[in-house]
Amino acid sequence: MARTLTILGATGSIGSSALAVVDHCNRTEDCEHFEIEALTAHKDVHSLADRAIKYGAKRAVIADAALYADLKEALDGSGIEPMAGSDALEEVARIPVDRVLAAIVGIAGLKSSHAALDAGNSVALANKESMVCAGSLLKTVAAARGAAIIPTDSEHNAMFQVMERGGDVERLILTASGGPFRETPAEKLKRVTPKEACAHPNWSMGRKISVDSATLMNKALELIEASYLFDFPEDRIDVLVHPQSVIHSLVAYRDGSTLAQLGTPDMRTPIAHALSWPERRLSTDVKRLDLAEWASLTFGKVDDTRFPSIRLARHALNMGPAAPVVLNAANEVAVSAFLEGKCRFLDIRWIVEEALGLDIAQSLKTGSDLGLGDVMSLDQESRRRSDELVAAAGAQMRSEAQ
């Protein structure tokens, strides 16, 4: 029997890795085969249509409703149903399947991740921003509907794999590559360009997560994600710099043992695990780990002065459930402004820190439950205020350039 799969965000980096897993399995005799229920994308109509046709999807959704006619034309004669708009994203997320892969970038993925779980679909969750902004809501909905959330971010997938064995966990240890500027002096960070920030040493990823890796905000979001996913306080989660990205994370137990999951840095492995879970039956042609070839693995501490993001994440977690939403929105706004040349690299951290100091970030204390509407309106207000911060940073940038 084939496994049914919907991919939300099928044209991105994670979407492409997932389709490569599907491709390999569907071509391999003794591997489970996949049937694609739906694929979605934001604006890239042609890439979406090509993939929907290649993989025989039943439906294709373009989130930008203005592109419906283009999608319809691109799918003409294929028998694939074209759909458009954010309601359509939620509609396809609700269609019963064996797995929904949530691979949209940013809080834009929250409503469809929520809809999938609310319909009882188990979700392989790559879209970390939805866990950061609405962790407790997603977990409550999943529990109520009997749906699983399978962590697919490589670090969380690693910890999830290890913790399936049970036992009393003392600490979680998130590994971090350190990004492209791990050794860049503070002075030089002032002038780095979007191109330099997107050139990650180990992973090829979407532009937003690449910039997040360069500021270490990716690890900051992952710390919040781990805290919500695994119900763990931030003071029992460590971040360890490990430039080779071979150890994907570690779990330390009460008896003094530390267990880890290892592999070559390739997202197809955690994706294959998350699509197969609770079994482990999918094969991939990922390069196998040869530790003798790596020869040495190295570790270090995060330099909090050059990269304060992790401190900000810990602070946000301690402030209560509104603060991670504010942190995420400010970061999304600041990263896209940086990518568009509207502010500088170091302004990203300034904007996030300033946003966390605003009254909205303190508006809810720990224990308050955020509904989907609360999260979305907090996000909107944080974006509005962050736009003002971007404008201030941009004005400063221009005046210094004169």
Least Å distance, CB 297 to ligand NAD, is 20
Q: Cα 293 vs. chain centroid, distance in angstroms?
A: 30
Cis peptide before 278 (omega within 30 of 0): yes
Q: Does 205 bind ligand NAD (CB under 6 A)?
A: yes
What is the x/- site pattern for Mg ion, positions 133-162, by CB under 5 A?
--------------------xxx-------
Q: Is 10 exposed, middle or buried, given 0-12, 13-18 or 19+ CB atoms closer than 10 A?
A: buried
Q: Of 103 and 322, which has the nearer Cβ to ligand NAD? A: 103
State residue 36 phi and psi, 5-degree precision: -95, 120
Applying CB under 6 A, among 4, 5, 6, 11 the residue interacting with ligand NAD is 11
Which one of Mg ion, ligand NAD, none interacts with residue 176, CB within 5 to 8 A by kind? none
Binding span for ligand NAD by CB under 6 A among 12-20, 252-260, 275-283, 378-386: 12-20
Q: Any contact of residue 325 with ligand NAD (CB under 6 A)?
A: no
User: Nearest CA to 275 among 61, 6, 10?
Assistant: 6
How many angstroms separate the CA atoms of 72 and 57, rounded? 14
Question: Shortest gap between Cβ of 136 and ligand NAD (angstroms)?
Answer: 19
Residue 68 tokens read as 């419906």
Q: Is 291 exposed, middle or buried (0-12, 13-18, 19+ CB in 10 A)?
A: exposed
Structure tokens at 5: 């799969």
Residues in the chain: 402
Residue in the block written with tokens 């304060």 = 308
Is there binding between residue 170 and ligand NAD (CB under 6 A)? no
Q: Cα Rg for the chain, rounded, in angstroms?
A: 21
Least separation in angstroms between CB 222 and Mg ion? 6
Q: Residue from 4, 122, 127, 227 that binds ligand NAD (CB under 6 A)?
A: 127
Q: Which is nearer to ligand NAD, 208 or 242 (CB)?
A: 208
From 4, 6, 10, 116, residue interacting with ligand NAD (rule: CB under 6 A):
10
- Sign (positive or negative) of CA dihedral 118, 119, 125, 130: negative
CB 65 → Mg ion: shortest distance, Å? Answer: 31
Say how far apart CA 77 and CA 158 lie, in whole Å.
43
| Comparison of 105 and 275: residue with beta carbon closer to ligand NAD | 105
Least distance in angstroms from the C-beta of 246 to ligand NAD: 15
Residue 225 binds to Mg ion (criterion: CB under 5 A): no
Q: Could you list the residues that contact ligand NAD (CB under 6 A)?
A: 9-15, 41-42, 44, 63, 103-105, 108, 126-129, 153-154, 203, 205-206, 208-209, 267
